[in-house]
Amino acid sequence: MRIFQNRKARNLLAICGFLILCSLSQAAKIGELTDTNWQEQAIEFWTMQQPSVRMAVVGTTLIGLCCGILGSFLVVRKLSLLGDTLSHAVLPGVAAGFLWNASKDPWAIFIGATAAGILGVALVGWIRSTTHLKEDSAMGMVLAGFYGLGITMTTMIQNMAMGNKSGLDKFFFGQASAFNEGDIQLLAIISIITIAILLFFYKEFLTISFDAGFAKGSGMPAKVLHYALMALLAFAVVVSLQAVGVVLVSALLITPAAAAFLLTDRMHWMLILAATFGMLSGVLGAFISYLSNDLPTGPFIVLGATFIFLLAIYLGPRHGILPKALRRRKQRKRIALENTLKAIFHLCERSDFERRVFELNELSRERNISLRQTEREVANLAKAGMASRQSKDSPLEMSAQGRFKLTSSGWLRACEIVRNHRLWELYLTNAAHYRVDHVHDDAEEIEHLLGEHIVKRIEERLQNPITDPHGRLIPSREQVTV
């Protein structure tokens, strides 16, 4: 179990697991496709001559749009799994709508499913407010209870001698190619209604999502808005069922929105990004499932969304794992460089600023690092134009006696760092009343982070001091700026 306490190991494990699973599913797909001539199918898909293809593309795009926008509100309100609950809870409604006239009439199914979904969400709220059971148990019960009822009803339908019941199994895993014109009309209407309501009440929805207390305090009908959002959500879930299926609708709500959440801090950008990601994964899923006859659409839409999410989590410019690691590495490098400069300053100071040229082994002792590392540090300094080598050795292999000196820009930077360090020490002793022997470690950290502005204010506050608490001279402003 130790492995789970190590973050790196866990991340690695997670990536490996995902890659293995993804590559396996990939292999499976290609093996499947070779015998159905997928190039032709691909061309047929992208030229969009067949009406069924056009409908599938329009349908999945609209679904991605709706789910992405509504899912964003769920994700920022930490209600992601309420979407999951809702999508399972609609099943008995689907069955009831199906029973209404024993056919796949989209409107009957739509009304039944919406009613069931809203009832499910309301039940979660009631269980939570009238018992001491927690939200997750309440959601689990509604999810599984409604789903069980739905399964009982669908098995009854399937065991009944009834004519057209073939459409019902599509509700489990989705088949975008089964879209017909009625479905597309319904989808378009729902999308327009959703977007119109959200645009019209954008400010209100934004407020209840981020600060429900404030919303109530300023007289907004928080409960009405909450249930309005849930109704829209139920609409979106119900119309998405055909394309992605009951189990995977929640992914379409959560994953694109979560990917967008990683990339931006502004809600309107999040909505735009989530809608784009939703549409992209929708079309991708429709495309892949079109390549072969018996590939369900839902799982591929979900995997497309997951792929986008993985890209966002690894490469997102601000919060992504990779850019973060790169930034951290760059910072570590800078700190090492500055520490080397400081060590050279100390060497210089020890000789009363007489000597300007030093040997590598001196620096290695001062920095307390190996000679190899010292070589590398000095090479880095030279690359940054802060040091120049004085010995005639080849630049790649300097001996322990290899000599170097700081250039004027290196010297300025060294003075700056030492100045930051000593000013901070003085600030801690004078203004924060630290003991003199306790200030060094803290200054060691902060010296790399202090900006020009803060240094100036510290200086003013300490009335332009000359020496630090240990009695050493603080490099003066002139020394640093000249």
Partner 1 sequence: MRDQFLPAFSFQNAIIEPWSLYFDSTIWIVTMGFLVAATCGLIGCFIILRRMALVGDAISHSLLPGITLAFLLTNSRDTLPMMIGAIAAGVVTVALIEAIRQSSRIKPDAAIGIVFSSLFAIGVVLISAYADTVDLDAECVLYGEIGWIPLEDRIVLGGHEIGPLPVIRMAVIGLIALGLLLTFYKELLVTSFDAGLAASLGINPGRYQYGLTLFLSVVIVSSFESVGVILVIAMLIFPGATSMLLTDRLPRILWLSAGFSGLYGLLGFHLATWLDASIAGGMTVVAGIIFTLVWILAPKRGLLVKFVFKSHSKGARTSSIETQAG
* 337 contacts 377 by C-beta, under 8 angstroms: yes
351 binds partner 1 (CB under 8 A): no
Contact residue for partner 1 among 66, 143, 243, 450 (CB under 8 A): 143
User: Counting contacts by CB under 8 A, is residue 272 touching partner 1?
Assistant: no
Piece of 24-32, 112-120, 346-354, 414-422 that binds partner 1 (CB under 8 A): 24-32
Q: Is 171 in the site for partner 1 (CB under 8 A)?
A: no
**Smallest distance, Å, CB 160 to partner 1?**
7
Q: Does 147 bind partner 1 (CB under 8 A)?
A: yes
Residues between 316 and 335 that touch partner 1 (CB under 8 A): 319, 321
Judged by CB under 8 A, does residue 137 bind partner 1?
Answer: yes
| Range list of H helices, 351-451 | 360-367, 371-383, 408-430, 440-446
Measured on CA atoms in the order 333, 336, 341, 342, is the torsion positive or negative?
positive
Q: Is 153 in the site for partner 1 (CB under 8 A)?
A: yes
Binding mask 63-92 for partner 1 (x = CB under 8 A): ------------x--xxxx-xx---x----
d(CA 194, CA 119): 20
Size of the site for partner 1 (CB under 8 A): 82
Asked if 248 is part of the footprint of partner 1 (rule: CB under 8 A), the reply reads yes
Nearer to partner 1, 78 or 392 (CB): 78
Interface stretch with partner 1, choices 198-206, 290-298, 360-368, 380-388 (CB under 8 A): 290-298
The answer to the question of residue 31 lying near partner 1 (CB under 8 A) is yes
- Is 284 a residue that touches partner 1 (CB under 8 A)? no
Is residue 303 involved in binding partner 1 (CB under 8 A)? yes
Distances (CA, A) of 157 to 240, 243, 251, 281, 299: 22, 21, 28, 33, 25
Q: Taking contact as CB under 8 A, which single stretch among the options 11-19, 188-196, 229-237, 443-451 is the one that binds partner 1?
A: 11-19
Contacting partner 1 within 177-206 (CB under 8 A): none
The 3-state secondary structure of 26-77 reads HHHHHHHHHHHCHHHHHHHHHHCCCHHHHHHHHHHHHHHHHHHHHHHHHHHC
Q: Taking CB under 8 A as the rule, does residue 168 contact partner 1?
A: no
Contact pick of 151, 196, 224, 326 for partner 1 (by CB under 8 A): 151
* Closest C-alpha to 282, from 268, 260, 299: 299
User: CA dist 65 to 48, 185, 217, 349, Å?
Assistant: 20, 15, 32, 66
Tokens of 7: 């973050």
Taking the mean position of all CA atoms in its chain, how far away is CA 81?
A: 17
